[in-house]
Structure 1
Amino acid sequence: MLNKKKSIANTIFLVLIFALTLYSVFHGEDLPAVLRTIGEVNPWYLIPGTAGVILFIWGESIIIWYMFGTLDIHEKKRTCFLYSCVGFFFSAVTPSASGGQPMQIYYMRKNKIPIPVATLVLMIVTITYKSVLVFVGLFVAFFQRGFVHKYLEGILPIFYLGVALNVGCCVAMSILAFHPELAKWIMMKGLRLLEKSRLMKHKEKRTKKLADSMEQYKATAAYFGTHKKVIFNVILITFFQRFSLFFVTWFVYKAFGLHGTSIYDVVMLQAVVSVSVDMLPLPGGMGISENLFLIIFKTVFTAGLLLPGMVLSRGIAFYVQLLFSATLTLVAHVRIGRGREETTETCEQQAG
């Protein structure tokens, strides 16, 4: 598990961001009126919206199950679903989603899945996950200029920053995946530079740990080279997974009885929000996601429905997802059981 001090710090940071989000969104607003408006929506549209959240989590679990199968690891689909819930919960409550994958590795290791294998699978999941956002961001930026000028003028710096950060992340991870020797050379040179500039003390243990961790990425490169069809299938599933969450806002839009904006515009606007905030160091993009929604959807949700629309859309897409994944994380902890102490220590090293 994450050590206690880090857990306490993350909890304090999460509560602080949540409080600031509530203040920035509802300050000066008539909260009872917002709640009354939400209470008048057509609830039948919220069912497929909530289903989209479940499909989002389920999509990743299918990818994990599918890739385990290609590596001759026969895990149950429901167990992979628990792994996904663990990942989404800890990603939602830690800055930059830093806690998700280490905790997934922790639970996978307790089920006797080797850490290098778990790391390989989750590395590919992350690359394809980010690649979909990069594709959406670049497509909108270069081929949807009318869309950009119509809706995004007020958030262009944040949008372009989000695209750039996601592109940078994908490039860095692709170097790790496709050119592990080059990545190892860059990382070792960087470490020596930090040591020579006296920003870090030289430690043989640290150098060896870095070298050993870089060796793990050779397996990723080998997998990409020999499983091209698998990677293609994973990308297709990831597109389905990501857009199942983006469609939540469309169902919220219809729940208010609104019309006049195309399904394409609503879904792509929600995708833009995800592209913009995905790489920012905020738990679940709290604060910035809500405020971006209020800026770019102001011409989509008519007067008086913008704030209720944001509350309902964000409430389903993030907070329902958070509560659902939190509940199943507890189930995972009970079902998979407590691992050995050395397993915990190993995964804390992965997280650190």
Structure 2
Amino acid sequence: MTSKKKKIANTAFLLLVFALTLYSVFKGEDFRAVMRAILKVNPWYILPGGLGVIIFIWGESIIIWYMFRTLKIHEKRWTCFLYSCVGFFFSAITPSASGGQPMQIYYMRKNKIPIPVSTLVLMIVTITYKSVLVVIGLFVAFFQRGFVHRYLEGILPVFYLGVALNVGCCIAMSVLAFHPALAKWIMMKCLKLLERLRILKYKPERTRRLSASMDQYNATAVYLRTHGKVIINVLAITFLQRFALFFVTWFVYKAFGLHGAHMYDVVMLQAVVSVSVDMLPLPGGMGISENLFLIIFRGVFTAGLLLPGMVLSRGIAYYIQLLLCAGLTLFAHLRIGRDPAVE
């Protein structure tokens, strides 16, 4: 598929999912009543919710900036913030967030950052990002049984699937990072099997490219072995980054003037939504995130405020983030690699 056709297909898929999301969420609901409830919220609680989105994006940019410095690459913090916006924007509009990192590598390359270096940095960002979700998912599944039975009975299959997919992803990335030789052997064997089964045609060039790409992970293994303190710091920043976004729902809850639910429950329920949808092949978890919210927060938001709460929480954490990152991605496209002040 050509690049142009792929963009058209991704855009059409995104619009279709968005339309189905609106239909599934608002079918049979009074949209005007929802908007009236949202307009009555306390704006002073919305401000820290919006700040949580900024911290979420800023957190990844600080990690990128910090890791670049350990590799003797001196990028400005603002430029790294633009890299993060590019990543979040393309992750939000592509299935399984598959478009984020390739586009980040593209813009880093425009600033003359070698592809092996950007691949190394973003590989570690992904490992730590997924690791935080795995820790949260396993903690809830094994040590919060009362919490699970109280709130998650209606979504347990989706939750456990999300945990399993994130664990599998972390294991696969850890093999790539810590055992690159084993990973290369597995991938080469899989390629030969696909060729033997005639699923793929034998192409020496494909074999060469796969071998070369797998060799890049040697650098990740070396970096992880020699920068243990850096990895611990990155994990700590990633935890703060992730929870900054989870707290958006708590501020939305307070903005409606609601009381009774504990902060821990609200924040961890939002974390459960993220764990459940992160690996699903939907742009930004669109559709499934909204419906999971309506199921598990039913006992948190009072009658009549559940749907407005979901609209406002999801609107800040995803849709406003999407619009912000879209604008800054456009800015990055126009300036990165062209304006010395941005490099």
Same topology, TM > 0.5: yes
The corresponding residue for 1:77 is: 77
The corresponding residue for 2:229 is: 229
The alpha carbon displacement at 1:335 in A equals 1.3
- AA aligned opposite 1:201: K
Q: Any conservation in 1 of the 2:105–2:118 contact (CA below 8 Å)?
A: yes
The corresponding residue for 1:62 is: 62
The corresponding residue for 2:205 is: 205
The corresponding residue for 1:343 is: none
1:253 matched to 2:253? The reply is yes
- AA aligned opposite 2:159: F
Q: Deviations over 1:322-344 (max 9, x none)?
A: 000001001101111479xxxxx
The corresponding residue for 1:156 is: 156
Q: Deviations over 1:59-106 (max 9, x none)?
A: 000000000000000000000000000000000001110100000000
SS of the aligned residue for 2:216 comes to helix
Task: Give the TM-score taking structure 1 as reference length.
Answer: 0.95
CA distance in 1 between counterparts of 2:81 and 2:169 reads 26
CA distance in 1 between counterparts of 2:203 and 2:259 reads 63
The alpha carbon displacement at 1:204 in A equals 0.3
Q: Deviations over 1:96-125 (max 9, x none)?
A: 101000000000000000000000000000
The corresponding residue for 1:216 is: 216
The corresponding residue for 2:184 is: 184
Structure 2 unaligned regions, length at least 5:
none
1:134 matched to 2:172? The reply is no
1:50 matched to 2:50? The reply is yes
CA distance in 1 between counterparts of 2:240 and 2:94 reads 25
Q: Any conservation in 1 of the 2:111–2:337 contact (CA below 8 Å)?
A: no
CA 1:39–1:271: 2 relative to 1, 3 Å: same
Q: Deviations over 1:210-261 (max 9, x none)?
A: 0000000000000000000000000000000000000000000000000101
SS of the aligned residue for 1:74 comes to coil
CA distance in 2 between counterparts of 1:104 and 1:338 reads 16
Q: Deviations over 1:103-159 (max 9, x none)?
A: 000000000000000000000000000000000000000000000000000000000
- AA aligned opposite 1:227: H
CA distance in 1 between counterparts of 2:306 and 2:296 reads 10
Q: Deviations over 1:300-348 (max 9, x none)?
A: 0000000000000000000010000001001101111479xxxxxxxxx
CA distance in 1 between counterparts of 2:89 and 2:177 reads 26
Paired residues, number: 338
Cα RMSD, aligned residues only: 0.9
How many percent identity over aligned positions?
80
The alpha carbon displacement at 1:295 in A equals 0.1
- AA aligned opposite 2:209: K
Runs of 4+ that moved beyond 2 A: none
- How do 1:321-332 residues align onto structure 2 when only pairs under 5 Å count? 321-332=321-332
The corresponding residue for 2:294 is: 294
SS of the aligned residue for 1:201 comes to coil
The corresponding residue for 1:318 is: 318
The corresponding residue for 1:40 is: 40
The corresponding residue for 2:146 is: 146
CA distance in 1 between counterparts of 2:4 and 2:45 reads 42
CA distance in 2 between counterparts of 1:80 and 1:20 reads 34
CA distance in 2 between counterparts of 1:6 and 1:97 reads 15
CA distance in 2 between counterparts of 1:53 and 1:208 reads 42
CA distance in 2 between counterparts of 1:317 and 1:198 reads 45
The corresponding residue for 2:100 is: 100
1:278 matched to 2:272? The reply is no
CA distance in 2 between counterparts of 1:233 and 1:41 reads 37
CA distance in 1 between counterparts of 2:335 and 2:66 reads 22
Q: Deviations over 1:172-192 (max 9, x none)?
A: 000000000000000000000
CA 1:338–1:95: 2 relative to 1, 3 Å: farther
CA distance in 2 between counterparts of 1:64 and 1:158 reads 32
- AA aligned opposite 2:325: S
The corresponding residue for 2:171 is: 171
SS of the aligned residue for 1:247 comes to helix
1:309 matched to 2:309? The reply is yes
CA distance in 1 between counterparts of 2:334 and 2:197 reads 48
Structure 1 unaligned regions, length at least 5:
340-352
CA distance in 2 between counterparts of 1:337 and 1:130 reads 30
CA distance in 2 between counterparts of 1:5 and 1:221 reads 37
The corresponding residue for 1:125 is: 125
The corresponding residue for 1:266 is: 266
